[in-house]
Structure 1
């Protein structure tokens, strides 16, 4: 089946199959532009994976079916007053391999504006055909944390067994759902559980690219998914950004006091065995909001890695050479005790034994096998 061949099946031509159609992978990672993503953390993480790991197209969804072009306008190119092309927004499912060759399906692009149920049903069928066992999604969330401390990453999941040891929520939350969370809930009803990774981004950096949070997301995903994902470029960008912001903060006493207050709050919670979250009420920034105003002038003059807030890397900053970095990202569990996906899947399998034969050993979902999961690269 070629890239240009319309998929003729019950989907009704909702996607075009790509060269990697039929590939198999145990993990589905989803991120859509347009949903909540403070610091463009999820977008930067996806770009880092695509840029460093490459990718083979599994499916390209029909934009005309799912996207309102008024909310995601096509980009027109004009050269010497002549229209030379129009680039329409694209939702794609790609196959990538981590540094050890483990396959991951990556669903990315603008968040669909319509037909969420139809879209999720289509993705569910593709996921089951590919042998997906678990899904992940990634976001940045604004929080009362300082840029001088590691980035906490919290886990929201469709099953309690997927939630690691982390600070408990103070109560029930209700909020408009992003499609990634909607998709995970629908996938869970078909037997594919999911986890959303939420990186806490300093509230004063929420509207600007924050590579440290993207690095933390990939680090957490590596731990939970038993993957080896590259963070070298993000670590370099984070180091440069933090150094520049810190220098600016030190030159402004009022801003420095605000950051110091955030640091004291962060450290106090760390000593108590908890960590700041978006719902944490321990920090009151109502009296000191100057930091956002002061940083705005600086950040407005920087080449934003997230073009238009979508996370598009532009200019020379897209070409950072890979550098050696830590295997885990800031904010990872210090004791290294984070569960891998296999640990979680084993617990889930033990809970879903065949009721007709309770003495039978639990089925163990295959997360690692000796033979390739997918068609060899290049075929």
Structure 2
């Protein structure tokens, strides 16, 4: 069983680190282990990464990172464009028309920085195409960039195909190889064994290098696994907001939520027109409902209401 079809472990939102407390706990922990130069800034810097390819079912993880970076007005820091990382027959460059001028956009890894006015962290957002070659050198390159920007923790985001229904909340899960983070944030130790992608390599290598790493995964219904997958994208965004104490601009959040609702309606229509798919979805729903998903708990509902209140703009005077 590969990471692309292994359902994520469920989480207990009633644990001691549930809700937005995770952000404060993580920030305090990172300050306690930061070196003197990082302490001077007052806020730890966290690197959030996602990659198009094998670890990105439905394009959910890479879309989530791009959306959050855009919502926080992240500025471009640099791009990694080394040709030796890519097979251009697999990750082909694209020809685009830019204001009347044709240009070629080559596969690259983009690094952006955001400094949210409110929050516990500065954030580096990293997204690009999973490299084809020299993964160890690529990983070392990214971790070197992390060190240059005084990153004190990394968050790896991914999405996998799983036997879950599109009509229920998208399952998400946190995990970490770092025992201190697991105890602090009340998250699981990864148990997967088998072929891995660049997300798994980066997570393990960061841990081996002494950089605290957290993995965040969402499960995408395998029968509608093609991109886009806005419902999984939204689920990842909400969990990232929780982990880092972020809050997207109201318009941005509403737009993604509308896309997710439209996506679900579209899949509903597909199921109505295909009896076999409808029966399969019904079986998945029954199996899901019997497991008492934590996403349906009163605690989760309360947290969602708190997010809604936080996003509301103050009334104009």
The alignment's TM-score, normalised by the length of structure 1, stands at 0.59
Q: Distance in 1 between the 2:75 and 2:126 partners?
A: 12
Q: Are 2:103 and 1:96 aligned?
A: no
Which one of 62, 76, 96 corresponds to residue 43 of structure 1? Answer: 62
Q: Is the 8 A contact 1:78 1:84 kept in 2?
A: yes
Which of structures 1 and 2 has the bigger CA Rg? Answer: 1
> Paired residue for 1:140?
159
> Paired residue for 1:213?
232
- Alpha carbons of 1:136 and 1:75: their partners in 2 closer, same or farther (altered >3 Å)? same
Q: Is the 8 A contact 1:152 1:332 kept in 2?
A: no
Which one of 263, 266, 285 corresponds to residue 263 of structure 1? Answer: 285
Q: Please report how far the alpha carbon of residue 148 of structure 1 lies from its aligned counterpart in structure 2 after TM superposition.
A: 0.9
> Paired residue for 1:151?
170
5+ unaligned residues in a row in structure 2: which ranges? 1-40, 302-317
> Paired residue for 2:200?
181
Q: Is the 8 A contact 1:158 1:194 kept in 2?
A: yes
5+ unaligned residues in a row in structure 1: which ranges? 1-22, 276-330, 338-379
Residues 129-178 of structure 1, C-alpha deviations (whole Å, 9 max, x = no match)? 32222111111111111111111101232223434657898xx5322221
Q: Please report how far the alpha carbon of residue 75 of structure 1 lies from its aligned counterpart in structure 2 after TM superposition.
A: 1.6
Write out aligned runs for 1:101-250 (5 A): 102-163=121-182, 173-230=192-249, 231-250=253-272
Q: Please report how far the alpha carbon of residue 266 of structure 1 lies from its aligned counterpart in structure 2 after TM superposition.
A: 0.1
Structure with more of its chain in helix, by fraction: 2
Question: 1 or 2 for the larger relative contact order (CA 8 Å, sep ≥6)?
Answer: 2
Aligned-pair Cα RMSD in Å: 3.0
- Alpha carbons of 1:36 and 1:190: their partners in 2 closer, same or farther (altered >3 Å)? closer
Greater than 6 Å deviation, 4+ residue runs: 166-169
Deviates more, 1:228-237 or 1:205-214: 228-237
Secondary structure (helix, strand or coil) at the match of 2:291 reads: helix
- Alpha carbons of 1:250 and 1:174: their partners in 2 closer, same or farther (altered >3 Å)? same
Q: Please report how far the alpha carbon of residue 211 of structure 1 lies from its aligned counterpart in structure 2 after TM superposition.
A: 0.6
Number of aligned residues: 253
